[in-house]
Structure 1
Amino acid sequence: MKLLLDAMLGSLARILRMCGHDAAYCLDRGVEDDDAIRDLAAREDCVLVTRDRKLAERAPESVLVESKDIDAQLREVAAAGVDLTPTPGERCGACNGELHEVDGEGNEFPEYVPDDASPVWQCEDCGQYFWEGSHWDDVEVRLEEL
């Protein structure tokens, strides 16, 4: 499912990316105006995820998220049929780019990547590195408790 999240849902976008979803965030795309957000979602064939009731009513496909609390937001998108299974190695949590696995042999990782991290993925768009660290455990526990 391809998603476009409005300006009020940046934290939700990051978690949805950790679940492997193509979850674009409108502010990352430089779009904030309601009409522009709706048009972008339609043009890119995305389901619009928004906290704005009027915008949701005007979008062809949308999920209205009413809560400000991230756990409640996760429950709402799950109830709308969005799979919340963590999927490491799919999407960049920072920019939504696709990740590819990087072999440790012959590659120098930045200092922030632990020496024992394996596998390691790199974003094709922004170049950031990812691995399954304790943050993955935290997200898995959070999602299991919903």
Structure 2
Amino acid sequence: MKRVAALGLDVGRKRMGVAGCDGTGLIATGLTTIYRTSFAEDIKKIQDIVREREVEILVVGLPYTLDGNIGSQAKQVQKFANKISQILKLPLEYVDERLTSVEAEARLKASKKFSTRDKGAIDRQAAAIILQQWLDRRRSEEKVISNK
């Protein structure tokens, strides 16, 4: 089985949740929250994680509107993600992130690891959900191909 080295990002205006996966591509885990200060600082922090984890692909949550359109927030995320993809010379894939923050908050509450003041924990968990969706989709697509 080929090693999977993906980095999941939940990009917000103030914070960015970051998730990674185990080498098998089975489990996504929240790694950290980047508190955004400047584009240069954001890139440096992401670069450090990419280098440390030997990341080969970026998976970014795209905040479609509830009716499935690309709104202004999604356009800002695309602009940011495209820039970091070019700077880091890494391929980029998007995952529909609608309601991942709601799901992340619910999971944290259920696991009793939640404080309404810790928005960073929600961002990390949302990034893990985004990356997990991508990993699951990738695995199911590989199954379909191998069954042909």
**Normalised by the size of structure 2, how large is the TM-score?**
0.31
- Whose Rg is larger? 1
- Structure 1 or 2: larger helix share? 2
